[in-house]
Chain A
Amino acid sequence: MDTLFRLVSLHQHHHHHPQAPPAPSSPDQHHHHHHHQSPYSSRSTSRSTTSTGSRSSPASHHTHTHHYYPHSHSHYNNSSNSSGSYYYYYDPAAGAGGGGGGYYYDHHQPAPYQEECGNDHGFYMDEDFSSSSSSRHFHHQPSSAAPPAAPANPPPASSPAPTPPQPPPAQSSAGGHGGLFEAADFSFPQVDIDLDFSSPASSSGAAGGSGTAAASASSGGGGAGRWAAQLLLECARAVAARDSQRVQQLMWMLNELASPYGDVDQKLASYFLQGLFARLTTSGPRTLRTLAAASDRNASFESTRRTALKFQELSPWTSFGHVAANGAILESFLEAAAGASSSSSSSSSQPPRLHILDLSNTFCTQWPTLLEALATRSSDDTPHLSITTVVPTAAPSAAAQRVMREIAQRLEKFARLMGVPFSFRTVHHAGDLAELDLDGLDLREGGATTALAINCVNALRGVAPGGARRRDAFVASLRRLEPRVVTVVEEDADLVASESDASSEEANTDAAFMKVFTEGLRFFSAYMDSLEESFPKTSNERLALERAAGRAIVDLVSCPASESAERRETGASWARRMRSAGFSPVAFSDDVADDVRSLLRRYREGWTLQEPGTDDSAAAGVFLAWKEQPVVWTSAWRP
């Protein structure tokens, strides 16, 4: 691929003299540009032949990775900038400091230009202010007229002071601003939030700041100390209170500060702002569809795999659940296989047949280690393993089918290598998981199956909450399959609007919105924070994970709960559902617990294993915590 620059340059070569068609004068344009030269007509006199040369392609990974353990942590070398100061040393800390001079303010109005300079030279009135950029798209009532420009008295130094407005020229107000937001003039600095921009700056500083540890310690995973969390919560409250002027001001601030490519605060601001924007324009489902379609079009097996493997390599977020679930599945299978061979000697010619119903969205990254363990730990005959994996898709997706075909081939190849008799089936299921026809899956393979395991990794939240206790009903339907073991891994966040399955009316109240927004912000702050600290600064895989989180955020903030597959629940809440469906928890064996602990030691500091609190008698499973905040819950159950 060549550069955009060369493409543009190349093209200019063909068209040295663009003839702009004469256009009639628009009433909004007062200053004509009589001698404005085309930037292209004079600059590009010869076609540039320089190319950027060939780029080395990254080394291809052709082994199917079947280890969960990262080999090194060498990415975290925040070496300081060695090439910077050309003339003299610059101390980045020297720029910091508090107090100091007054807030600079000037309410000088620009003088009308024509009086001074005539109109035959290089001034130009930007017509942006005169014709476009209406705000008519909002559904809000017009806010009351913005107050007049503040006088020149500086606001208190401690309070954030939005920039003094430099009002657009008079004609702007005559344009398309009669919409739901007046053209804003934020001269009212009454945002009663003390924003601290200092600590996160170091983690995103230019050349490897040294304050990362301190910053992350203070900000934690929770987002409480983050400016983004403060502003976003204020903004959400204003949305709930329908205070459109405040919404406008806070969204303006967030928009100025946000960036999907910035530090954790800026990313949170960017993705949650996108959600709030979609909510305010009642375009949540549409925005989500557009985002998902764009992601789907550009997803390949390679990119999907790279992202999943990198995530496993650098963070225990997914591997934690895999290791624990595989441990529980393996133990129950070995038990079942031993029981089968001892009880019926007649069928000993046939190896036991194990079946996993895999309800998860983890692209089968979990299974190679299980295959390996089955091969090495089975006493005599290696049992036959069938996997039926259900791939949830919002809509039939060519990309998902491509990816799963490739995965199936690789898994089958790997099973042959391991000597495990294996069959694999993919079921693409569009829509809510509760509508999956479990009986139609023939999980018993006509009665041949010795033992069935159901593996639910981030799957149960795919059953949209809502009336008729849909989640309880789905868990009960799993119970009817009479599995030997059910492993449930879920991200630990309380994103269902009310304790019992809420009716959809209840789920859409302002209180429910605030609850989900607040908890979503907490959870995704921890997630983004862990990604930021686990991945190198420039990582496309991290970007892909963040974008996926961004889609979940849009779903949570702007889409109805009844259509959502992102409404996570806490581990405690899932445990209650499992128990009430007739399951009882299986404690992880010491072996499995040791595996999980040794897994966590392979990652950077900050990850810990947490037992559920003793205050909830229904509790089960264990939690993965990032900086003491539980983020992923894993558990095993039997009927």
Chain B
Amino acid sequence: MLQGVLSRAPATESPAAAAMKAKRAPASPDEEEEGEGRPARGKRQQLLGLGSAAAAEGPETRGLRLLSLLLRCAEAVAMDQLTEARELLPEIAELASPFGSSPERVAAYFGDALCARVLSSYLGAYSPLALRPLAAAQSRRVAGAFQAYNALSPLVKFSHFTANQAILQALDGEDRLHVIDLDIMQGLQWPGLFHILASRPRKPRSLRITGLGASLDVLEATGRRLADFAASLGLPFEFHPIEGKIGHVADAAALLGPRHRQQQQDEATVVHWMHHCLYDVTGSDLGTVRLLRRLRPKLITIVEQDLGHSGDFLGRFVEALHYYSALFDALGDGAGAAAAESDERHAVERQLLGAEIRNIVAVGGPKRTGEVRVERWGDELRRAGFRPVSLAGSPATQARLLLGMYPWKGYTLVEEEACLKLGWKDLSLLTASAWEPTDAAAATPRRGSQET
């Protein structure tokens, strides 16, 4: 179908004309299966139109060939034409390279992900692999890559700064703090918060962090590092590791810890969650929502990727291709850059972005299950009795300062409704938001009816 469309659209046509023509192409039954309520068809055909028209432009040929091949291959996968998909994979691999320009790099990882997807479709086995020895090795690599990412891109810092500012703003005056980090990893975010807390005239009387993660070893190491750091600042600190996933925690009291009863009166609880597609964090989104509803933390801070995780394969694929093209573009080309820098970029792309792409392209998407999932957490939190807290004040100022501090060109910051959005050349990449329980007594009108 796709090749047919491509070849029928003469190269001389304008993109718009080619796309219109593509749209008139009769839909096959195969295609109709995919697109219920989703604009995947439209998107795909737009991209097609682009491909056929711009192919005449010359210098962009390689990028366009890759784009066209990736879409053809993804469409073959979507239609379960795995043999056809396999025929396309070697061409993609030859044109792409994880060490090339950003289109070649992003295509390398999408090609690799499609290859893995085709095989898992043949095998009928979709779930991610969770081996203990592997988890430890992976967690080390991911930790290293996150640090490199932190140096190469403002995305990580944006997440940390914004959430920390939101927490400081909301908990001003509280002197017992409890942060529940749904996916703490190495806990890179928290020393920044500690630092500001310690520099205030009145230090908090108690500071606890409950960290969730897949490996107790990693959690305990994180706890030790955080404790050392807190001690060096003279902050009281306790760490409570929970090995497991938030959506599987049955009892909210387990999160609050043994001294829950004594402390709940005056302890302010914050839940923090930075999203990614490296693995499934919640276990169950619905369980997570239920738990948050019961927990009613004083503040929830969330940093979401502006990337749909659900939906049919082709829609997910096209959206992710767009999203990661922006991320790779933002990381730059710099073929002549210092070897160390391109090594680091490669590590980031392979360990983080490439791993995410694999999960997105995998059967079932990032969760690798058919379980229902929350697509927009804002809507869900509203229904669960939370309302947005504006990040327009000090979090926005901090984020703006951050972007000004570094020579990153092309990143944009937008305040939308109560949220902060970090983008790359007009494509929104991350949305940071903060939420507080809706006070039933004080019937404050909701701010903002609908977020994007």
Complex interface: chain A residues within 8 A of B137 (CB):
197-198, 201
Is the C-beta of B5 less than 8 angstroms from some C-beta in chain A?
no
User: Does A273 lie within 8 Å of B119, measured CB to CB?
Assistant: yes
Complex interface: chain B residues within 8 A of A103 (CB):
132
Which of A38, A133, A297 gathers the greatest number of chain B CB atoms within 10 Å? A133
Mark interface residues in A152-173 (1 if CB within 8 Å of B CB, else 0).
0000010011111111110010
Q: Tell me whether A135 and B122 are in contact in the complex, defined as CB-CB below 8 angstroms, given that A55-B335, A58-B336, A207-B343 are known contacts.
A: yes
Q: Would you give the shortest CB distance from A4 to chain B, in whole angstroms?
A: 4
User: Does A197 lie within 8 Å of B134, measured CB to CB?
Assistant: yes
User: Does B346 lie within 8 Å of A537, measured CB to CB?
Assistant: yes
Mark interface residues in B66-81 (1 if CB within 8 Å of A CB, else 0).
1100000000011110
Is the C-beta of B139 less than 8 angstroms from some C-beta in chain A?
yes
User: Does A104 lie within 8 Å of B123, measured CB to CB?
Assistant: no
User: Does B243 lie within 8 Å of A101, measured CB to CB?
Assistant: yes
User: Does A4 lie within 8 Å of B46, measured CB to CB?
Assistant: no
**Measured between alpha carbons, how far is A102 from B125 in the docked complex, in Å?**
25
Is the C-beta of A111 less than 8 angstroms from some C-beta in chain B?
yes
Complex interface: chain A residues within 8 A of B225 (CB):
88, 90, 94
Mark interface residues in B54-87 (1 if CB within 8 Å of A CB, else 0).
1000011111101100000000011110110011
Q: Would you give the shortest CB distance from B272 to chain A, in whole angstroms?
A: 16
**Measured between alpha carbons, how far is A635 from B348 in the docked complex, in Å?**
46
Is the C-beta of A606 less than 8 angstroms from some C-beta in chain B?
no
Chain A: interface size category: 35 or more
Q: Tell me whether A88 and B93 are in contact in the complex, defined as CB-CB below 8 angstroms, given that A11-B46, A83-B151 are known contacts.
A: no
A-B contact pairs, 17 of them (CB 8 A): A3-B63, A4-B66, A5-B427, A20-B37, A21-B23, A21-B41, A23-B33, A52-B333, A84-B151, A124-B372, A126-B364, A206-B148, A255-B116, A256-B116, A536-B339, A538-B343, A547-B94
Complex interface: chain A residues within 8 A of B62 (CB):
1
Is the C-beta of A440 less than 8 angstroms from some C-beta in chain B?
no
Is the C-beta of B446 less than 8 angstroms from some C-beta in chain A?
no
Given B36, B122, B370, which contacts A33 in the complex, CB threshold below 8 Å? B36
Mark interface residues in A201-220 (1 if CB within 8 Å of B CB, else 0).
10011111100000000000
Interface segment, one of B95-103, B175-183, B251-259, B260-268: B95-103
User: Does B132 lie within 8 Å of A160, measured CB to CB?
Assistant: yes
Complex interface: chain B residues within 8 A of A97 (CB):
136, 217, 221
Mark interface residues in A1-29 (1 if CB within 8 Å of B CB, else 0).
11111111111101100111101111011
**Measured between alpha carbons, how far is A489 from B125 in the docked complex, in Å?**
44
Complex interface: chain B residues within 8 A of A81 (CB):
144, 147-148, 151, 344
Mark interface residues in A39-70 (1 if CB within 8 Å of B CB, else 0).
11111111010101001101000000000000
Q: Tell me whether A128 and B120 are in contact in the complex, defined as CB-CB below 8 angstroms, given that A14-B15, A113-B372, A205-B141 are known contacts.
A: no
SS class of chain B's interface: helix, strand, loop or mixed?
helix
Is the C-beta of B210 less than 8 angstroms from some C-beta in chain A?
no
Given A15, A83, A90, A134, which contacts B186 in the complex, CB threshold below 8 Å? A90
**Measured between alpha carbons, how far is A23 from B40 in the docked complex, in Å?**
11
Q: Tell me whether A298 and B347 are in contact in the complex, defined as CB-CB below 8 angstroms, given that A97-B217, A168-B369, A204-B141 are known contacts.
A: no
User: Does B216 lie within 8 Å of A5, measured CB to CB?
Assistant: no
Complex interface: chain B residues within 8 A of A85 (CB):
147
Interface segment, one of A177-185, A473-481, A582-590: A177-185
- List the A residue with the shortest CB-CB distance to B100: A540
Is the C-beta of B287 less than 8 angstroms from some C-beta in chain A?
yes
Q: Tell me whether A290 and B87 are in contact in the complex, defined as CB-CB below 8 angstroms, given that A15-B16, A21-B27, A33-B36 are known contacts.
A: yes
Within 8 A of A (CB), among B316-341: 319, 321-322, 325-326, 328-329, 332-333, 335-336, 339-340
Q: Tell me whether A43 and B427 are in contact in the complex, defined as CB-CB below 8 angstroms, given that A18-B42, A95-B217, A121-B379 are known contacts.
A: yes
Complex interface: chain B residues within 8 A of A32 (CB):
36-37
Q: Would you give the shortest CB distance from A325 to chain B, in whole angstroms?
A: 31
Is the C-beta of B426 less than 8 angstroms from some C-beta in chain A?
yes
User: Does A88 lie within 8 Å of B133, measured CB to CB?
Assistant: no
Given A41, A50, A87, A138, which contacts B191 in the complex, CB threshold below 8 Å? A87
**Measured between alpha carbons, how far is A128 from B312 in the docked complex, in Å?**
7
Q: Tell me whether A43 and B426 are in contact in the complex, defined as CB-CB below 8 angstroms, given that A97-B221, A106-B248, A181-B122 are known contacts.
A: yes
Complex interface: chain A residues within 8 A of B380 (CB):
121-122
Is the C-beta of A613 less than 8 angstroms from some C-beta in chain B?
no
Interface segment, one of B104-112, B165-173, B197-205, B388-396: B104-112
User: Does B147 lie within 8 Å of A84, measured CB to CB?
Assistant: yes
User: Does A92 lie within 8 Å of B143, measured CB to CB?
Assistant: yes
Q: Which 9 A-B pairs have the closest CB atoms?
A: A18-B42, A206-B144, A101-B216, A163-B130, A184-B125, A84-B147, A5-B325, A122-B375, A11-B50
**Measured between alpha carbons, how far is A386 from B333 in the docked complex, in Å?**
46
Is the C-beta of B114 less than 8 angstroms from some C-beta in chain A?
no
User: Does B133 lie within 8 Å of A197, measured CB to CB?
Assistant: yes
- List the B residue with the shortest CB-CB distance to A28: B33
Within 8 A of B (CB), among A105-156: 106, 108, 110-111, 113, 116-117, 121-135, 137-138
User: Does A163 lie within 8 Å of B129, measured CB to CB?
Assistant: yes
Is the C-beta of B234 less than 8 angstroms from some C-beta in chain A?
no
User: Does B372 lie within 8 Å of A90, measured CB to CB?
Assistant: no
Is the C-beta of B218 less than 8 angstroms from some C-beta in chain A?
yes
